[in-house]
Amino acid sequence: MTVSTTQPRLSLGPVLYYWSRQELLDFYSRIADTSVDIVYLGETVCSKRRSLRSKDWLALAQKLTCAGKEVVLSTLNLIESAAELGTLKRLCSNGRFAVEANDIGAVQLLSGNFPFVAGASINIYNARTLRVLADQGLYRWVPPVELSRAALADLQRQRPDGVETEVFVYGRLPLAYSARCFTARARNLPKDDCRFSCADYPDGLELATRERESFLVLNGIQTQSARSCNLIAEVGNMASLGVEVLRISPQQQHTETIIEIFRRELSNRPSKGNAVRVVDKLTPAGSCNGYWYGVSGMDACTIAEAPWR
């Protein structure tokens, strides 16, 4: 692995929630004006969400490219039906934009034909896996969100040449996928008649414990953490780990502000006050960073606890 001395670039992950067509278009026109370098576009959670069709996403990709962004088309995490596979095939063979694979089915379709990014739900836990995928055209990977800094450092030491690493540094953590739609279930509706319930929850539907402690977020067939992962305190050390890209996951509000706070941190022009606290105030339900520290993902550790300091 060659350790880059340049600062990591910033990326914006795909919108994980069900926003309307207008909300998505407005959001991305604001994103075009931010300093984010890479934008991942597309529906990754549920094939029933069709605010934008494939051709709309491609048009948006074109626009953002013109605005100077690198665009990657992201794909569904759980592929079951023939229709979902059909959409996936069209995206994989678009011939123009790189694709983020979130299922091995996508890797198979892209293998040997198109360079691809492996998203966080592709289970890459060791260098041998990374090498097999790099041989098939992987040029960037997002480690599983549960991977600790220590595990990532081990893997980075054995990383094949020509592969970039992108770390999920901000947002509610995607934790699980199911055949069941939990948002529909919360309304006593079956998945086949979900009435697009997700549209009512632009940051997902919060699930609390019986002690009213905010715990998880239901987002259709996806389950997320209620707390947002916040690794802004680590930004300055990512380059020494050989991390090239930092991913911010969109939320309904403040996404552009969060991008600029991370940008300032990367450029050594930190925001006034403690950056961790500044970002924490912009989360929907508090923050966590335990995975990075090798403990429970929900924990919020402080810099003082970091064994690598």
Partner 1 sequence: MDRHYDMTQEAPTLPELVCPAGNLSALKAAVDYGADAVYMGFSDATNARHFAGLNFNTARAREGIRYAHERGTKVFLAINTYAQAADCTRWQMAVDLGAELGVDALILADIGVLDYAANRWPELRLHLSVQASATNPEAIRFYYRHFGIRRVVVPRVLSIKQVEQLAAQSPVPLEVFGFGSLCVMVEGRCLLSSYVTGQSPNTSGVCSPASAVSWEDTSRGVESRLNGVLIDRYGGGEAAGYPTLCKGRFKVGDNTYYAIEEPTSLNTLALLPELQKIGIAAIKIEGRQRSSTYVKQVTQVWRAALDACKQDLPRYQARPEWLRALQQVSEGTQTTLGAYHRPWQ
Q: Based on CB atoms, which residue is closest to partner 1, 108 or 267?
A: 108
Query: At closest approach, how far in Å is the CB of 183 from partner 1?
Result: 9
Sign of the Cα pseudo-torsion (76, 20, 182, 125, in order): positive
The candidate with the shortest Cα–Cα distance to 67, out of 35, 24, 22, is 35
Q: Based on CB atoms, which residue is closest to partner 1, 34 or 225?
A: 225
Query: At closest approach, how far in Å is the CB of 265 from partner 1?
Result: 25
Token pair, residue 159, equals 């990383």
Query: At closest approach, how far in Å is the CB of 203 from partner 1?
Result: 14
Query: At closest approach, how far in Å is the CB of 106 from partner 1?
Result: 8
Q: Based on CB atoms, which residue is closest to partner 1, 97 or 201?
A: 201
Query: At closest approach, how far in Å is the CB of 53 from partner 1?
Result: 21
Query: At closest approach, how far in Å is the CB of 196 from partner 1?
Result: 16
Q: Based on CB atoms, which residue is closest to partner 1, 69 or 149?
A: 149
Token pair, residue 208, equals 């609390």
Token pair, residue 249, equals 């996951």
Amino acid sitting at position 209: T
Q: Based on CB atoms, which residue is closest to partner 1, 34 or 230?
A: 230
**CB within 8 Å of 274: residues ≥ 6 apart:** none
Which residue shows structure tokens 């569904």? 76
Query: At closest approach, how far in Å is the CB of 169 from partner 1?
Result: 17
Query: At closest approach, how far in Å is the CB of 268 from partner 1?
Result: 31
The candidate with the shortest Cα–Cα distance to 219, out of 291, 284, 294, is 284
Residues in contact with partner 1 by the rule CB under 8 A: 77-82, 84-85, 88, 103-109, 111, 121, 123-129, 132-133, 144-146, 150-151, 154-155, 158, 173, 175-182, 185-186, 190-192, 205-213, 215-216, 218, 223, 225, 290-291, 294-298
Are the C-beta atoms of 118 and 136 separated by less than 8 Å? no
* CA 76-66-22 angle, 5° bins: 55
Are the C-beta atoms of 6 and 33 separated by less than 8 Å? no
Q: Based on CB atoms, which residue is closest to partner 1, 227 or 264?
A: 227
Q: Based on CB atoms, which residue is closest to partner 1, 144 or 270?
A: 144
**CB within 8 Å of 121: residues ≥ 6 apart:** 77, 102, 103, 144, 174, 177
CA distances from 116 to 1, 97, 112, 130 (A): 19, 10, 10, 12
Q: Based on CB atoms, which residue is closest to partner 1, 36 or 163?
A: 163
Amino acid sitting at position 265: E
CA distances from 230 to 149, 235, 267, 277, 301 (A): 14, 10, 18, 10, 10
What whole-number distance in Å separates Cα of residue 297 and Cα of residue 248?
A: 17
